[in-house]
Amino acid sequence: MAKMKRLESTRKAIVTSMIIGFLIGLGVGYGLWEYPEYLLLATVPGTESSAAPVRRPAAVNAPEVLPSQFEGLIIRANEATGAGNHAEAIDLLMLADLSASSAQEVEEVVYLLDKAMSLRVSQLRQDQRVAEIDALCESVTLAMPERAEFYLRLAEHRMEMGNEQGALAVLAQIENHHQWGVRARGLIAMITDVEPGVPLVNVPLSRSGNQFIVTASLDGQREIRLLIDTGASVTIVAPSILEILGYLLDGQTARFSTANGEVDAPLVGIQSLSVGEQLVSPITVGAISLSQGSVPFDGLLGMNFLQEFEFSLDQERSLLELNYRRNGDDGR
């Protein structure tokens, strides 16, 4: 009898242990299903796992995740978006970006993240929490620094809020991007009121006493040497050079003041004159033969060219700096 009681007691203990074990296993399984991003690989000190977590140092401060979790995170992000929890969707998608193992998966994250951000921004605007939009956009650029399109979103928001310097700081990081650089330079132009695609040019000069000579190109065909003269309202080119290029000198004339006194000389409309990469087209020049000094030159570079740019003369380095051309400001 006593033996039977002991067997019964043992049987009850085994059954109880099985039930407890089942419940614990069920709870752990549910936790891993509900929160897969917290499933971390444990490695034995001194060994390496063949399935080590994907690491991206510049990403958000988030738990390490495994590539196999990508699909689950995408599903949860879509569910959050469908429920209107756009902030949660954004967090999940940035986690998914960490576990993306192919270019196709990265593009999927970018597409869904852009959609979630648009919805979240609209949500913040409706709630009159516009100040939070900047922090949201900036957090995504920090999490995904290789995605230039999110820099554009941040810059455009800052421009909308009147923070032009903040926008310029962001745009400067992507203005040479192979895909989004053109758009970035366009926004820079809108902020600075300059024409995009006309870069700062430093043109080397040669010295003639206290004056400087620059090499220019006439109609893209003939290189000429012009003495820089900010006191000359019109650029001057030697008549012989103009005739070689086929220009006639029998048209309108104007009076010019030269070192040898006042002279009447023809005005000639030429196709283009360029210095470095900066070009003015068309432009009018005066056809005058000037007396030569110790260093020969072919004319004067006058203000009807220079006024098209922000320019400065660096005498110490013998450089002519031609800055971005300004819209609506011709310097006259």
pLDDT tens for 150-183 read: 999 999 989 988 898 889 888 988 888 888 888 8
**pLDDT score of 51 more than 90:** no
Nearest to 191 by CA among 230, 234, 156: 156
Domains along the chain with CATH numbers: 67-192 (1.25.40), 201-322 (2.40.70.10)
Closest CA to 92 of 122, 65, 54: 65
Rounded Cα gap, residues 332 and 304, in angstroms? 9
Q: pTM here?
A: 0.41
3-state secondary structure the chain: CHHHHHHHHHHHHHHHHHHHHHHHHHHHHHHHHHCHHHCCCCCCCCCCCCCCCECCCCCCCCCCECHHHHHHHHHHHHHHHHCCCHHHHHHHHHHHHHHCCCHHHHHHHHHHHHHHHHHHHHHHHHCCCCHHHHHHHHHHHHHCCCCHHHHHHHHHHHHHCCCHHHHHHHHCCCCCCCCCHHHHHHHHHHHHCECCCCCCEEEECEEECCEEEEEEEECCCEEEEEEECCCCCCEEECHHHHHHCCCCCCCCEEEEEECCEEEEEEEEEECCEEECCEEECCEEEEECCCCCCCCCCCEEECHHHHCCCCEEEECCCCEEEECCCECCCCCC
What distance in Å separates the CA atoms of residue 6 and residue 13, rounded to the nearest whole number? 11
Task: Summarize pLDDT for 179-207 with one digit per residue, the tens.
Answer: 888 888 888 888 887 554 444 678 899 88
Residue 303 has pLDDT above 60, yes or no: yes
User: Would the pLDDT of 32 be above 60?
Assistant: no
Using an 8 Å Cβ cutoff, are 275 and 214 in contact?
Answer: yes
Residues 114 and 261: their CA atoms lie apart, in Å, by 69
Sign of the CA dihedral 186, 188, 193, 198? negative
Q: Give residue 83's Cα distance to chain centre.
A: 34
- Flag whether pLDDT at 72 surpasses 80: yes
User: What is the spatial distance between Cα 302 and Cα 54, in angstroms, rounded to a whole number?
Assistant: 62
Inform me whether the pLDDT recorded for 42 exceeds 60.
no
- Convert the pLDDT of each residue in 258-273 to its tens digit: 766 788 889 999 988 9
What's the token pair of residue 45?
């000190």
For residue 215, the model assigns a pLDDT of 93
Cα 305 to Cα 74: distance, rounded to the nearest angstrom: 58
Q: Give the least confident one: 143-147, 211-215, 322-326.
A: 322-326
